Structure 1
Amino acid sequence: MGNPDVTQTPDTFDLEVETLIIGAGACGMVAALAAHEAGQDVLLIEADPMPSGSTALSAGLVPAAGTRFQSAAGIDDSAARFAGDIQAKAHDENDLDLVMTMAETAGSVIEWLADSHGLPFSLVTDFDYPGHSRRRMHGLPTRSGQELIDTLRAQVEALDIPLICNRRANRLYSGGIRVSGAQLTLPDGSTETVGCDRLILACNGFGGNRAMVSEYMAEIDNAVWFGHDGNRGEAIHWGHALGAKTRHLGAYQGHGNVAHPHGILITWATITEGGVQVNTLGQRFWNESQGYSEAARAVLAQPDGVAWVVFDSRIADIARQFEDFKQAEKQGAVMTAETLEELAAKAGLPSDELSQTITEIPMDGVDLFGRTWGSTSLAPPFCAVKVTGALFHTQGGLEIDPLTAKVRRATQGTFDNLYAAGGAACGVSGAGDSGYLSGNGLLAAMTLGYIAGRG
């Protein structure tokens, strides 16, 4: 693929549609469903042979407040409380209007997908995510992002919404504050052009572009890339060429709990339910309760850039609701032992140090790192997984108007018909990695995709 660029509108297009959506991850497909429901003529294009995106690599969990799923579980929540949690995690670095829009929209989107499109959402009720003051994570039965992608795709196909894969957009056509269409590249190198009345960028961020990662977030450029390789930063390139505003390009979601060398995500429930991370010396090295995004840098700073997450069979039972964890067990990434001494031997950790680390956890107290502990201690059989730090996706992007998802211009106002959503738009994770609240990625994908799609 050549460098994504912007040029003048051609005399004619090969095809013309009302709404063209670039990218068929969760964001693009939600936008397509919303646009179709609004009566628009929609074309959804995807660079890959099949839709997947970063969503397929995630647990597929979407945070939302005030839903009927929460009410059924006896959970009292509100958009205002949710927005407060987002801002607290991001140190008030976000656009408050954008935060409130997402927080107020998320519940409606979840219930719309459930009621109008049959997505079988349910609430995660057996553990807490860092930074969330209420249990508000909604997911499909397997707690798998791949299931979310497959279910959305099935609905797109059932409604006969045109979805064309193996088409990578590499050029936008524009005349001033309007975008008139895009050029698409086919696998054989040939091209075709599509004109449109509206263009929605749902092509995610730039985590797969190592040069851009090094430029904007050098502290994580040595991490395992755990996102989708198609995240090459086209939206940012086009935005710069068009004169769009960008914001927080140094923001990203990391994860410090990816099984190594297996490359499988280990749910953070292994930590929140009482597990710890130790380095190769058998010692804890930080306050794990801060969150899994900032855990990436903490783990990468340890000897050999790895750590071990240590938990027990009780926690493993909770983790098995996630398909990723079951796959990690099948591939032998999860070690089990009746004693800490035996676990240390299997993991190659110093036995005395590991035993001392675990026994010194102050039940019903606060440790030296500032982590607060409950009354349930780790008990045999014990478990451990070797993990490393990873970059999942970028959180900065094109600045948008929160109410319309239209892209803002660097001078003033917005483009007439250019929208950005999901990873293509600036999210609500602040300026770095520590501002990422669990689920922020899919929160932006679902809410902004819905807003942009409805137009």
Structure 2
Amino acid sequence: MKFALLSGLVIACLASIGNASAANDLASFHSKNQGGCTACHITPGKVSDDSETHINQQCKSCHGGYEELKDAKLEIDPHNSHLGDINCTSCHKGHEQSKVYCNECHSFDLKIPFNDAKKKAAWDAKWDQEKIQQAIAKGPVETTEVVVVGAGSAGYNAAIAAKQAGAKVILFEKAPFSGGNSMLAAGGMNAVGTPQQKAHHVEDKVQWFVEDTMKGGRYANDPKLVDILAQRSAEGVKWLESLGVNMDDLKRSGGARVDRTHRPADGRSAGPTIIQTLRKAAAKFDVETRLNSRVEKLVLNDDRQIVGVVVHAKYSGYYMVAAKSVVLTTGGYGYNKEMIAYYRPTFKDMTSSNNITATGDGITLAKEIGASMTDIDWIQAHPTVGMDSRILISETVRGVGAIMVNAKGQRFISELTTRDRASDAILKQPGKFAWLVFDNQLYKKAKMVRGYDHLGMLKKADTIDGLAKLTNMDTQLLQGTVTNYNQYQQSGDDKAFHREDMPLNLTQPPYYAVKVAPGIHHTMGGVAIDTKAEVLDLQSWPIKGLFAAGEVTGGVHGYNRLGGNAIADTVVFGKIAGESAAANAQQK
């Protein structure tokens, strides 16, 4: 009987893809060559879970993991990227068109099998209010203590902290893999009073961190939140190190008076390094993480307290999960063109460095239940996004020693000024773009720069004159700019723009340049929170059971964020939010 049932399911599954061979999809290929639907499905025609765990295990059992699939012969190797060990199904689709996920940001000429299969509408293309209400009416299908919404740095830190505090946690992520905007972060984490600063003989004070952050934010920041960010920043670095992240390198970011930005010692980008470590830590601490699962409703009781969420999952559909605490860590709205056009119309046509998942979901969820917003219409443009791309050229490149010149080859501002001032200055230059110029000293020192070279973003020449010709800069002007800067660097006094930190000169060929322009980078405002990361309502009272951390919130950074403070925000307030959520959930 069981055999007959299984055979019937197999036949039904094969019938459902009977026409797929004409479409040349992956499922049809496996059904013919790998023993039918059971090659991917435990139960033919069904997916075991929304994270597609079994399917991905099957992929790796046949083809190996990313370590085995890496190919050093490839100029661009999709199996060796900053995204890390993500689901195979992020790119390879069974019953629809496969796609190269890299090209959500890049434009690589990469071939992928079965990319001519039928394209299907995205499972999460819309929010179905009728089905959301039906899920609420049906009631919760399961219960947990803490729900965390969004698996970037803030989400992982919140989930791990809540788990370590003894709470039962479910972490939901709408994308096919975790990371969010944090996966794209290149710079590092600002912190004061760390062993790293002591080892590098850097004098720093909590008050200096606060003053720099407030000044950078044009004093629109919430001082209480900035105080906590500074005071607990060293603890945040120690927390990351306890989870396995090396943060021993030290650099200075724009707006900071001293070297305060902590980075991986091997020169790798901070964001991917942190996220890949947090993924492993979450697995180690048994934090249940569900991918392809978008939270679409916060559910309140008659006392306006959080009692759960409605989840829209790729395969499970709509269902409600009961929880006493919910933490919003969904990031900002930097990739939501409609929200950008509404809140900041002058930025509506600007490119964005954000992950495609940064669509403001948490802000929408919170506003629907009456949460207060802070500085919601303020958006930060990062001054150095690769021209005609969505690739962020990290502030660390300037911090390590690059200079910034205009189309003619002239410096026009201190490279270590704040992002808003640098962006404004670039937009006033001819063509509204700039070049970052550096030499082989920086190229050898900063691993991320070699990554930009790998992506074909750098111009390279053996002489300054040669670089000027390649970039159409004025040869005499660029040569004069470099000569003057080298003199300033040697004397320690930038007479032109008063740059305070000049760690490298430009004397060792080859010389490099990368073309940059401002792009949407960080949405400054969002959900209003207090010092416990509790979300506030329109009367500034905490909404019982609702917490938030990271870019979904407002108040920490004011009108402009300093480089290095985003990761600090996600770690410090992510951890606070997780601990607060656990404490609330465990109250009797």
Whether TM exceeds 0.5 here: the answer is: yes
Q: Contact between 1:62 and 1:139, CA under 8 Å: does it hold in 2?
A: yes
- Opposite residue 282 of structure 2, the aligned amino acid is V
Please give the residue correspondences for 1:15-414 in structure 2 after superposition, counting only pairs within 5 Å: 15-59=142-186, 61-115=188-242, 117=243, 119-125=244-250, 127-140=251-264, 141=266, 142-175=268-301, 176-187=303-314, 190-261=317-388, 263-320=390-447, 322=448, 325-361=449-485, 363=488, 364=491, 365-367=493-495, 369=497, 371=499, 377-381=505-509, 382-402=511-531, 404-414=532-542
Distance 1:112 1:380 in 2: 39
Closer/same/farther in 2, CA of residues 86 and 76 from structure 1, 3 Å limit: same
Q: Secondary structure of 1:168's match?
A: strand
Closer/same/farther in 2, CA of residues 105 and 210 from structure 1, 3 Å limit: same
Moved more, 337-346 or 216-225: 216-225
Distance 1:88 1:445 in 2: 20
Q: Contact between 2:327 and 2:549, CA under 8 Å: does it hold in 1?
A: yes
- Opposite residue 371 of structure 2, the aligned amino acid is A
Q: Contact between 1:64 and 1:103, CA under 8 Å: does it hold in 2?
A: yes
Distance 1:370 1:69 in 2: 27
Higher Cα Rg, which structure: 2
Q: Contact between 1:262 and 1:333, CA under 8 Å: does it hold in 2?
A: no
Q: By how many angstroms is 1:301 displaced?
A: 4.4
* Cross-structure match for 1:437: 562
Q: Contact between 1:269 and 1:315, CA under 8 Å: does it hold in 2?
A: no
Q: Contact between 2:296 and 2:365, CA under 8 Å: does it hold in 1?
A: no
Distance 1:219 1:319 in 2: 34
1:371-425 deviation per Cα after TM superposition (whole angstroms, max 9, x unaligned): 56869643242221112222122121111111x1111111241111000111111
* Greater fraction of residues in helix: 2
Q: Secondary structure of 1:155's match?
A: helix
Q: Contact between 2:409 and 2:478, CA under 8 Å: does it hold in 1?
A: yes
1:255-313 deviation per Cα after TM superposition (whole angstroms, max 9, x unaligned): 22223345433333443354332232333343433134543343344444432111222
- Opposite residue 545 of structure 2, the aligned amino acid is N
Q: Contact between 2:332 and 2:552, CA under 8 Å: does it hold in 1?
A: yes
1:1-46 deviation per Cα after TM superposition (whole angstroms, max 9, x unaligned): 4359797954521221100000011110100110001100100010
Distance 2:430 2:543 in 1: 48
Q: Secondary structure of 1:290's match?
A: coil
Closer/same/farther in 2, CA of residues 353 and 72 from structure 1, 3 Å limit: closer
Q: Secondary structure of 2:358's match?
A: coil
1:70-103 deviation per Cα after TM superposition (whole angstroms, max 9, x unaligned): 2333334333332222112223221111111111
Q: By how many angstroms is 1:196 displaced?
A: 0.7
Closer/same/farther in 2, CA of residues 111 and 48 from structure 1, 3 Å limit: same
- Opposite residue 335 of structure 2, the aligned amino acid is G
Q: Secondary structure of 1:344's match?
A: helix
Q: Contact between 1:251 and 1:429, CA under 8 Å: does it hold in 2?
A: no
- Opposite residue 173 of structure 1, the aligned amino acid is V
- Opposite residue 111 of structure 1, the aligned amino acid is K
Q: By how many angstroms is 1:189 displaced?
A: 8.3
Moved more, 177-186 or 276-285: 276-285
Distance 1:69 1:83 in 2: 19
Distance 1:101 1:232 in 2: 27
Distance 2:288 2:505 in 1: 53
Gaps of 5+ in 2: 1-124, 581-588
1:417-436 deviation per Cα after TM superposition (whole angstroms, max 9, x unaligned): 000111111142222xxx32
Distance 1:336 1:392 in 2: 27
* Cross-structure match for 2:107: none
Distance 1:350 1:134 in 2: 34
Distance 2:314 2:296 in 1: 13
Give the root-mean-square deviation of aligned CA atoms.
Answer: 2.6
Distance 1:164 1:241 in 2: 24
- Opposite residue 543 of structure 2, the aligned amino acid is F
Moved more, 95-104 or 132-141: 132-141
Q: By how many angstroms is 1:343 displaced?
A: 0.7
Closer/same/farther in 2, CA of residues 355 and 74 from structure 1, 3 Å limit: closer
Moved more, 445-454 or 376-385: 376-385
Closer/same/farther in 2, CA of residues 417 and 269 from structure 1, 3 Å limit: closer
Distance 1:375 1:392 in 2: 26
Moved more, 376-385 or 200-209: 376-385
Distance 1:366 1:319 in 2: 23
Asked if residue 451 in structure 1 is aligned to residue 576 in structure 2, the reply is: yes
Q: Secondary structure of 2:323's match?
A: strand
Distance 2:503 2:534 in 1: 49
Distance 2:504 2:570 in 1: 36
Q: Give the aligned length.
A: 445
Gaps of 5+ in 1: none
Q: Contact between 1:395 and 1:441, CA under 8 Å: does it hold in 2?
A: no
Distance 1:289 1:397 in 2: 27
Q: Contact between 1:220 and 1:297, CA under 8 Å: does it hold in 2?
A: no
Distance 2:316 2:147 in 1: 21
Q: Secondary structure of 1:24's match?
A: coil
Distance 1:375 1:43 in 2: 45
Distance 1:79 1:225 in 2: 32
Moved more, 251-260 or 379-388: 251-260
